[in-house]
Amino acid sequence: MSHPGVTTESRLVRMLLIGTAGLIVGLLLLMPLLAVFIEALRKGWEVFLASLHDEAALSAVKLTLTAAAVSVPLNTLFGVGAAWAVTKFRFKGRALLISLIDLPFAVSPVIAGLVFVLLFSPHGWFGRWLEEYDLKVIFALPGIIIATMFVTFPFVARELIPLMAAQGSDQEEAAVTLGARGWQIFLRVTLPNIKWGLLYGVLLCNARAMGEFGAVSVVSGHIRGETNTLPLHVEVLYNEYQFSAAFACATLLALLALVTLGIKSAIEHFTGHRHHGRH
Amino acid sequence: MSISIQSIHKTFGGYKALDDISLEVSDGSLTALLGPSGSGKTTLLRIVAGLEFADVGSGKILFHGENVVNVPAGRRRVGFVFQNYALFRHMTVAQNIAFGLSVLPRRRRPSGKEINERVRELLHLVKLDGLERRRPDELSGGQRQRVALARALAIKPKVLLLDEPFGALDAQVRKDLRRWLRVFHDETGLTTLFVTHDQEEALELADQVVVMRNAHIEQVGAPQEIYDQPRTPFVYEFLGNVNKLAAAAGPAQYVRPHEIEVKFAAEYEPASDRLAVVQHLFSAGPVASLSVRLEDGQFLEVEISRKQLDELALSEGDKVALGFPISDNR
Amino acid sequence: MSKRRVIPGFGLSLGFTLCYLSLLILIPLAALFLKAAGLGWQEWWRLLGSARVLAAARLTFGASACAAALSAILGLPVTWVLVRYRFPGRRLMDAMIDLPFALPTAVAGITLTTIYAPNGWVGAWLLKLGIKGAYSPVGVFIALTFIGFPFVVRTLQPVLEDFAKDTEEAAATLGAGRWLTVRRVVFPMMVPALITGFTLAFARALGEYGSVIFISGNLPMKTEILPLLIVSQLEQFNVPAAAVIASAMLVVSFMLLLSINLLQRWLDWQKS
């Protein structure tokens, strides 16, 4: 039965390759994931739960959720608008616009934080003006939200643009000839066709928004209980040698990652379409 | 409703897609826009529909005397059937057909019951009774095409436009659907304009054929007229098989394979006939096709009936005399 | 008269896109360049030429390149197995590939540090071989490999999936053995994707911060990466230095983005 076809390898080679791939994925990816949970529970459930009930941890969770709750919807709106503009119309500078949307992927998160410090810190461009009105951006919630928006900017657009480009505009044009108007076309024709891609983009955007570290770290000022997001809280605990607590909080973020991957797999399974994002 | 297209120009970037196109389509006619790809026929159809806009300052498009150039596509009351049907994949057949009614402003929108009734009528009209709840991907190509047609008809269009209506279908379905569409058109009397690159389709189906090439209209006329009296070499070559005979002086002569008369070499008349040698015989089918070589070395294709072939008892290598029709402007 | 369009929403969607893009991305980035440009060339050379910056640049670029290369080497058999073979656990393995995309970098950072620390699962074992895992350039390299790995697999995967088996069959009918077919037919076809994957992983690694700073130990001149150097300059209120280093990094990143776009075109062209 195991007669190898002309386009596959002998059984032995296949087993060896599968074993090698398993080893690579196991050592490189699976081991760190397991380590998060093992380290978190090293001192038992009580320490684990206490670390999560800690006030600073709770406020970090709250801040993380708040930042995501603002930045993800805004970037979703942007992503849909940008995808509509560049896939349904041809105009001068379109190719440039598509490249510019990718720009934040090429920017180190640290630099993303830095640019907002330059703009909004007391010595920055708008520093004096902000001070006059007693507004705080850097080392405060607005700065965290803006930095998060910067780094998660392309996710939804990146998912939608290839999808909508591949689908073309035939269905929208058909809707036009049948008398449908602006929002009717989007809500009744376009949206149902892109909903899975949109959901996937939102999911990735959210995962990154909640997990963002570098950019937020630069603008947050690390004020415990005030401007620490969950990833920053993990850092603080780790640097204070509270390893079990750090890993306990890290499990929340790891679970977020697992849920994201799970839903991604489910969407792919459901739609039979594979997403090859680069993020 | 009649359509009058008056000196329409269209350029894409620097590329001329339509150059001064004028055309009259009479009320209730079935007109084919025929041409090779890139001839501008689809662009013209899309401009009539309002899916594309003619160059600023160029001519007019009149629907029953009224200029619709500034009327948006959604208000032109045009039924448009896309080449790949553009059915809404996430909707059922019934939802697809009802779409044009359900997007009407509330005060003009029929009630749910009325819409359902209309959907049923339309499905009956296109012979798809009972398929309301199917989704487009559960239908065959021919069924999809008819759903697209029903969807376009739901808004009670004044004009029906079809872009390559049979392009995506296989040969047999194509033939059936073509006949069905002709009958359908005669029953509804809807002014219909369709785009095709298939000359057989255009000649068989249309009342009026518009042959297009390189952004121009080459010839407009009834199918018979276009076939029998082609006005340009392009039309001659594009419609049906044709032999091109190089002449010693003057322009080349065109002659269709069935127009050539084949006689015994003994009946040769030097004044009008030419002598040739039979190179190959293809006699499978109702018509026999001969490949012959003239004395000057040119090859011609000739078609004769099987009966005539038997009478002549030809075989390869035989010498024959060929009689040519009297040509005027060829 | 503006151009008429059939599908509605052009002005709204493009206007919103341009405003949002300008306010959030373009103007802030321009501000950074302006800030840095205001210092003059001499200051640029002085800051970028300092021993500490050069050491950090060497580590950042060196470790990123090595990590991207290792990702490419490891990614090849993993992608092959995922695309070509069916085995229990394949879907799980496929889903796991994206873990570094989804796992917050800080979590990756502390976890990798714990594993590769001298008393960690792998670190202790490495130490016996005389290799210091965490708190050394090796640690930086490990973290960046973790981060870059999925870029290679996800770039190779669609190419290998689309790869027409009949080309391989043709090679086989021409008498090529399996290994020869893979080496001479399949592998060359994958080179563009491999280069693209490498470049993506490399570009991402250059800017990486969260997963590196825990494992690197952050010793100036030894294990300090460029993003960390920016942060430490900022913390010392040396804003000009931070801006100059960041601008220089951005220029490199933009050039990489440009080459990635060109590579992507190459890939698309190859596919069609």
Here the contacts of B178-181 (C-beta below 8 Å, separation 24 or greater) are B178/B204, B178/B205, B180/B127, B181/B205
| A10 assigned to some structural domain | yes
Q: Are A247 and A134 part of one and the same domain? A: yes
Structural contact between residues A145 and C262, judged by C-beta atoms closer than 8 angstroms: no
Collect all residues with Cβ–Cβ distance below 8 Å to C36 and sequence separation of at least 6: C44, C240, C243, C244, C246, C247
The half-sphere exposure of B65 on its side-chain side, counting CA atoms within 13 A, is 0
Distance from CA of B170 to the nearest CA of C (A): 25
Mean pLDDT lowest among A251-255, A269-273, C4-8: A269-273
Which pLDDT score is estimated for C176? 74
Please say if the pLDDT value at position C221 is more than 70. yes
Tell me how far apart the alpha carbons of residues A105 and A67 are, in angstroms, rounded to a whole number. 19
- CATH 2.40.50.100 location in chain B: 242-323
Mean pLDDT lowest among A267-271, B8-12, B110-114, C73-77: A267-271
Q: Are A10 and A102 part of one and the same domain? A: no
Query: Domain holding A189: CATH number?
Result: 1.10.3720.10
Provide the CA A139 distance to its chain's centre, in angstroms.
22
Answer whether B281 touches A (CB < 8 Å).
Answer: no
- CATH 3.40.50.300 location in chain B: 3-237
Which secondary-structure segment (H or E) carries B216? strand B216-221
Q: Are A130 and A197 part of one and the same domain? A: yes
* Better pLDDT: C106 or B242: C106
Which pLDDT score is estimated for A2? 40
Which pLDDT score is estimated for C175? 73
Average pLDDT value for chain A: 91
Burial class for B329, CB neighbours closer than 10 Å (0-12, 13-18, 19+): exposed
Mean pLDDT lowest among A111-115, A147-151, A172-176, B249-253: B249-253
Structure tokens at B274: 């030419």
* Residue C94: closest CA among C160, C140, C143: C160
Answer whether A120 touches C (CB < 8 Å).
Answer: no
Which pLDDT score is estimated for C189? 85
User: Which amino acid is residue C222, in one-letter code?
Assistant: K
Answer whether A271 touches C (CB < 8 Å).
Answer: no
* Residue C245: closest CA among A232, A134, A110: A110
Please say if the pLDDT value at position C2 is more than 50. no
3-state secondary structure of B33: strand
Tell me how far apart the alpha carbons of residues B198 and B214 are, in angstroms, rounded to a whole number. 17
Of A174, A181, A184, the CB nearest to B86: A174
Q: Are A18 and A55 part of one and the same domain? A: no
Do residue B155 and residue A193 have CB atoms under 8 angstroms apart? no
User: Taking residues B192-216, what's their average pLDDT?
Assistant: 94
DSSP per-residue string spanning B259-277: GSEEEEGGG--TTTEEEEE
Collect all residues with Cβ–Cβ distance below 8 Å to C33 and sequence separation of at least 6: C247, C250
CATH match of B3-237 with 3.40.50.1110: no
Structure tokens at B196: 């095709």
Here the contacts of C83-87 (C-beta below 8 Å, separation 24 or greater) are C83/C157, C83/C160, C83/C161, C84/A8, C84/C160, C85/A14, C85/A17, C85/A18, C87/A18
Tell me how far apart the alpha carbons of residues A121 and A194 are, in angstroms, rounded to a whole number. 40
Q: Are A117 and A167 part of one and the same domain? A: yes
Collect all residues with Cβ–Cβ distance below 8 Å to B17 and sequence separation of at least 6: B10, B11, B40, B43, B215
Which secondary-structure segment (H or E) carries B16? strand B15-25
Distance from CA of B164 to the nearest CA of A (A): 14
Collect all residues with Cβ–Cβ distance below 8 Å to B274 and sequence separation of at least 6: B294, B295, B321, B322, B324
Which secondary-structure segment (H or E) carries B75? none
Which secondary-structure segment (H or E) carries C103? none
Q: Are A151 and A63 part of one and the same domain? A: yes
* Rounded percentage of chain B residues whose pLDDT exceeds 70: 98
User: Which residues from chain C sit within 8 angstroms of residue A142, using beta carbons?
Assistant: none
Tell me how far apart the alpha carbons of residues C56 and C218 are, in angstroms, rounded to a whole number. 10
Do residue C96 and residue A261 have CB atoms under 8 angstroms apart? yes
Do residue C6 and residue B56 have CB atoms under 8 angstroms apart? no
For C16-117, where are the E strands, in sequence order? none
Which pLDDT score is estimated for C96? 94
User: Which amino acid is residue C173, in one-letter code?
Assistant: T
Structural contact between residues B163 and B49, judged by C-beta atoms closer than 8 angstroms: no
Band (pLDDT 50/70/90 cuts) for residue A275 is: low
Do residue A178 and residue B154 have CB atoms under 8 angstroms apart? yes
Please say if the pLDDT value at position A3 is more than 80. no
Structural contact between residues B191 and B64, judged by C-beta atoms closer than 8 angstroms: no
| A279 assigned to some structural domain | no
Do residue A89 and residue C14 have CB atoms under 8 angstroms apart? yes
* Domain with A170 in it: 44-271
Collect all residues with Cβ–Cβ distance below 8 Å to B85 and sequence separation of at least 6: B136, B144, B145, B147, B148, B168
Distance from CA of B57 to the nearest CA of C (A): 11
Which residues partner with B195 through β-bridges? B33, B163
| A62 assigned to some structural domain | yes
User: Which residues from chain A sit within 8 angstroms of residue C170, using beta carbons?
Assistant: none
DSSP type of residue C177? -
3-state secondary structure of B36: coil
Please say if the pLDDT value at position A4 is more than 70. no
Collect all residues with Cβ–Cβ distance below 8 Å to B2 and sequence separation of at least 6: B24, B25, B26, B27, B62, B63, B64, B65, B191
Place of tokens 């989007």: A186
Angle between helix axes A230-239 and A55-88 (nearest 10 degrees) is 140
Q: Are A9 and A107 part of one and the same domain? A: no
Mean pLDDT lowest among B164-178, C97-111, C145-159: B164-178
Q: Are A32 and A138 part of one and the same domain? A: no
Please say if the pLDDT value at position A103 is more than 60. yes
Of A117, A149, A278, the CB nearest to C234: A117
User: Which amino acid is residue A51, in one-letter code?
Assistant: S
Please say if the pLDDT value at position C164 is more than 90. no
* Rounded percentage of chain A residues whose pLDDT exceeds 90: 78
DSSP per-residue string spanning C65-83: HHHHHHHHHHHHHHHHHHH
Burial class for C90, CB neighbours closer than 10 Å (0-12, 13-18, 19+): middle
Band (pLDDT 50/70/90 cuts) for residue A209 is: very high
Greatest mean pLDDT among A201-210, B299-308, C217-226: A201-210
What is the tally of helices (H) and strands (E) in chain B?
9, 17
Q: Are A137 and A260 part of one and the same domain? A: yes
For the stretch A40-84, pLDDT in tens is: 999 999 999 999 999 999 999 999 999 999 999 999 999 999 999
Chain C residues 2-41 with CB within 8 Å of chain B: 3-4, 6
Which residues partner with B278 through β-bridges? B292
User: Taking residues B16-41, what's their average pLDDT?
Assistant: 94
Average pLDDT value for chain B: 90
Structural contact between residues B289 and B257, judged by C-beta atoms closer than 8 angstroms: yes
| A278 assigned to some structural domain | no
Q: Are A98 and A189 part of one and the same domain? A: yes
Structural domains of chain C ordered from first start: 40-271 (1.10.3720.10)
Which chains share 3+ C-beta pairs under 8 angstroms with B?
Answer: A, C
Band (pLDDT 50/70/90 cuts) for residue C170 is: confident
Chain A residues 62-91 with CB within 8 Å of chain C: 77-78, 81-82, 84-86, 88-89, 91
Band (pLDDT 50/70/90 cuts) for residue A214 is: very high
Answer whether B275 touches A (CB < 8 Å).
Answer: no
Q: Are A177 and A193 part of one and the same domain? A: yes
Please say if the pLDDT value at position B259 is more than 60. yes
Return the number of other C-beta atoms located less than 10 Å from residue B117's C-beta. Answer: 12
User: Taking residues B153-173, what's their average pLDDT?
Assistant: 90
Which pLDDT score is estimated for C272? 65
Do residue C6 and residue B52 have CB atoms under 8 angstroms apart? yes
> Best residue in C2, C3, C6, C10 to probe B by mutation, most B CBs within 10 Å?
C6
Please say if the pLDDT value at position C174 is more than 90. no
Which pLDDT score is estimated for A7? 67
Say what the ipTM of the complex is: 0.91
> Best residue in A13, A24, A25, A181 to probe C by mutation, most C CBs within 10 Å?
A25
Q: What backbone torsions phi and psi does residue B269 show, to the nearest 5 degrees?
A: -115, 110
Q: Are A2 and A53 part of one and the same domain? A: no
Mean pLDDT lowest among A13-27, B232-246, C29-43: B232-246
Which residues partner with B162 through β-bridges? B81, B194
User: Taking residues A164-183, what's their average pLDDT?
Assistant: 94
Structure tokens at B330: 């060829």
Domain count, chain A: 2
- Which CATH code, of 2.40.50.100, 3.30.70.260, 3.20.20.70, 1.10.10.60, is assigned to B242-323? 2.40.50.100
